[in-house]
Amino acid sequence: MPLRITLHTTAFEPLEALAQWQQELLIGGQTPSAAESLFIGRVRGEAADGSALAALELEHYPGMTERQLEQLAQGCMARHGALSCLIQHRIGRVLPGEAIVLVAIGADRRGPAQRCCQELLEALKHDAPFWKREWHADGRSTWITGNTPL
Amino acid sequence: MLARKPPGALVSVAPMGEAQANGIRICLFAGLREQAGWAEQHVPVAAAAQEPLTPEHLWNSLQLPGPLSSMRIAINHQFADPQTPLQPGDELAFLPPISGG
pLDDT at B47: 66
Residue A21, pLDDT score = 97
HEC sequence for A98-118: CEEEEEEEEECCHHHHHHHHH
B79 contacts in chain A (CB < 8 Å) = 127
Backbone angles phi, psi at B3, to 5 degrees: -65, 140
Domain spanning A3-138, CATH class = alpha beta
Per CATH, the number for B21-95 is: 3.10.20.30
- A131–B contact, CB cutoff 8 A: yes
Instruction: Give the model's pLDDT for residue B12.
Output: 41
CB pair distance less than 8 Å for A131 and B74: no
pLDDT (average), residues A70-90: 98
In chain B, domain spans: 21-95
Q: Residue A134: is its pLDDT beyond 80?
A: yes
Is A126's CB within 8 Å of B31's CB? no
Residue B13 has pLDDT above 70, yes or no: no
Closest CA to A128 of A100, A96, A149: A100
- How confident is residue B16, by pLDDT bands cut at 50, 70 and 90? very low
β-strand pairing of A99-107 with A35-42: antiparallel
Specify whether the CB–CB gap between A101 and A39 falls below 8 A: yes
C-beta separation of B62 from B7 below 8 A:
no
Query: Given a cut of 60, is residue A145 above it in pLDDT?
Result: yes
What is the model's pLDDT at position A26?
A: 95
Q: How high is the ipTM of this complex?
A: 0.90
Q: Does A140 touch chain B (CB under 8 A)?
A: no
Cβ <8 Å between A64 and B74: yes
- The confidence band for B45, taking pLDDT boundaries of 50, 70 and 90, is confident
pLDDT tens-digit series, residues A31-60: 999 999 999 999 999 998 899 999 999 999
Q: Is the dihedral of CA B30, B34, B35, B37 positive or negative?
A: positive
Are the beta carbons of A64 and B30 separated by less than 8 Å? no
- The partner residue sitting opposite B29, judged by closest CB among A59, A63, A125, is A59
Instruction: Note whether A124 contacts B: Cβ–Cβ < 8 A.
Output: yes
In DSSP terms, A59 is beta-bridged to A131
